[in-house]
Amino acid sequence: MGYNVGRVNNFVYHLEHAMGQNSWFINPYMQSNNNEWEKIQKFNEQELKEYYLKQEYLQKYEIYNLGA
């Protein structure tokens, strides 16, 4: 889509921490988030733009009001 992608050419660490209410297996929204991810991965560029232009929660951001 013409965006720059940044890469880290070094080690990246994830610090261990206790599982809380937002952890994967505890958070009730994680399965729906995963389903959404699976769905949008199949979109081409135009389908993705059209899909996001229809999302009400993005309408408050000026960048998304520019059209497809």
**pLDDT value at 68 more than 50:** no
pTM for this prediction: 0.52
Q: What is the pLDDT of residue 62?
A: 63
Q: Give which of 1, 16, 15, 13 is closest to 48, Cα–Cα.
A: 1
Q: For residues 53 and 36, what is the distance between their CA atoms, to the nearest angstrom?
A: 16
Read off the pLDDT of residues 14-60 as tens digits, 9 standing for 90 and up.
Answer: 777 777 777 777 777 788 888 888 999 999 999 988 888 888 877 77
